Structure formats: structure tokens, C-alpha cells
Copies of this chain bind each other. A is one copy, B any other.
Amino acid sequence: MNRVEALKQSVLDGKRIDGLLVFNAANQIYLTGVSGETARATLACVMISKKGENIIYVYNVNYEQAKAEGKGFRVELVKRREDLVAQISAKAKSLNMKNLVADFLSVETHRLLMKGLHGQARLEMQSNLLWEMRKVKSEKELEFMRKAGDLTSIGMKAAYETIRPGVKEIEVAAEIEYAMRKRGGWGTAFETSVASAARSAFPHGGCTARKIAKGDLVVVDIGAIYDHYCSDMTRTVVAGKPSDKQKKLHGIVKKAQFEAFKTMKPKVEAKKVDAAARNVVAEAGYGEYFVHGLGHGVGLEVHEPPTLNSESKDILAVGNVVTNEPGIYLIGFGGIRIEDSVLIQERGGENLTNGSYDLETAR
């Protein structure tokens, strides 16, 4: 119950908040240890209360799993959504809770809940409820993230070995995912992207049945999951011999990534890391084609705080894991992105994804 206790100390103790309602799927996994897909909540709600037991509310289909895995929680069976609201309201009343905080709610569930509470408790939204904790990874979490990074690096090696003129994008994806799974991966953190030629200029190009042609730029963006923790890595390769322009652009992006990497230290403003990469791209004359922020946090979710872009107010800290992914996207010509997942250590950044940056594949 360490995480629950830490959360109670930081959010509940000494504050006028009496209880927390946790609906976000990743937050639920983080607090309860009950396994489930991060994208889909296995539990109906998790209630953390200042006085009284902490409760997992769960529908029948996942009831036995929650009982087996949710150590330290009372597990209450919920028959339907209306009952969830009634059960939470009754519990809030019996524990005399006056001020509740929820991490996420749709407008409709919020209305149901407000109706159920009929004025007996206030309900405040705090979407960042767990981010201060989740942003800083523990040693145990880093063990999983290192493994996810290793698996992703293995997937990327498979991409280098597979990409050649005549191979379909989805065939490359098949080899990448198979390599990651065979070595123990839990699945993909997001849709594997193997975007060639014109579609490489779309940062989220995905992959299709298109055959890769000689001279195509191919942006490979992949991530393995290990024990719920994600990784994120991109390389750009050319099937065959790269042109001078492809080489030049690749060199700019690589330099931008390296300059940003050098600035990644605790207490550094995230926007300064973004600027380090952006300046390299801008000075080379391609500033307007770097159409996204430099990076984002990675953990239980593949996109989470802190955020690295020109408007970020985040400051890096030891234990953050963030992506470092500059890119240049020229419509009609193609795109180039290089990305690694980086752990912030006392002495600086450490890449959790590793492998060749070569623009040329072996074949």
C-alpha cells in the first residue's frame, strides 16, 4: 500500500479533502496493482478515503480478478452503472465525506454522480491528481521500463533487418512485433508505424500494405509494453542508397536530438530542452517543418507528463522518463524523425532505447 499511503499523505492529510475517486485506468493499475489493459478500465472506480477502508468497485465480470489481485483493498461488487453511483454516494454519506476529488469524469457520469450525492458532498476535478507521483519512476518501475526499452530496441533491430525494396510496410510491422513478443513483450504501446515515401511526412503515418520502394524514406515508430510500462522509439531509414538531401536532413535531425539530449538534466526547464533541438533545425532552415513538440513523458501511458515543447511549464527531475524526438516533415518529399526514450538521472540523460542511427539499412 505504499503508493496509496504516499497519495494520502500528499493529497489528503491536512487538507479538507475527505476522499478520492479514481476512474482513469492507468491510475487504477498504479494504485491497486489489479492488472488490466491500460486503455480500458478493468475497475469501475477506486475510492481512497481519509478515514475508512480503500475500496475497489468492480463489475461482476472482473470481480474475482480484483479480489485476487487488489491486495489491501476492500472489493465491492457493482451490478450496473446506476448502482455504482448509489454505492459511492452511500459510502460517502456513511463516512461523512464532504469534499471529494475525482481524477477524470465524462460530463454524463459527472452528472449522475452529482445527482446521486444530492448536495451532501462537493466534487472537484483534478486530472493531475496522480501525476506528481507517476512522473517520478521508482526503481521497480524503471526495471520494467528498461525491459520495455530493451524489447523496443530489439524490435527496431528487426526493422533494420527487414526493410528493403519490395517489402510491404505491414510485413515489416509483423517482424518487429514478433521479435518484441518472442523476447517477452506484453504487446505494443501504440499502433506500430512503418510509414514510407509520401506518408513518412505525416508524423502519425501508421502502416499500410504498400511495398517499400528503392530510395524511400521509411519512418519506423514503435514501442513495446512490459508489465504495463511503455517505451517509444523512432528511426528513419532509406531502402537502398540515401540521396544527398536525405543524408543532409537526417544529419540535422540527429544533431538536434543530440543537442537536446545534452541539456537533459534535473532542474532544467522542459522548454529549454525543446529549444535546444528546435534551434538546430531552425538554423538549418527547416524550423517550420518541425511540426510538433520535442517529446512527452512515458510510463504506464505512452503519452503522459512531463511535456517537452516550447510552451511547457514542466521542469525535469530525476526519475522522469521522456521522449526526445525531433523531426523534419516535407510534404511530397518525406519525413525524418529520430526518437529515444530518456531517463533523467542526477548526472544527465540515459537512453532506455538503444541501437543504430544509420540511415542506410543492411540491404
- The interface of chain A, by Cβ under 8 A from chain B, is 35-37, 39-40, 42, 60-65, 68, 80, 104-108, 110, 125, 127, 170-171, 173-174, 177-178, 181-182, 184-188, 190-192, 201-207, 209, 291-292, 311, 329, 331
Contact = CB atoms under 8 A, between A and B. Distances in A.
Given A80-B311, A181-B170, A202 B108 contact: no
A188 B190 contact: no
Contacts of A110: 107
Copies of this protein, total: 2
A190 B361 CA distance: 32
A206 B35 contact: yes
Q: Is the interface of A mostly helix, strand, loop or mixed?
A: loop
Contacts of A292: 60-61
Most buried by B among A36, A170, A191: A191
A155 B209 CA distance: 19
Contacts of A39: 39
A105 B107 CA distance: 6
Given A177-B181, A186-B170, A64 B204 contact: no
B125 A108 contact: yes
A184 B203 contact: no
B107 A37 contact: no
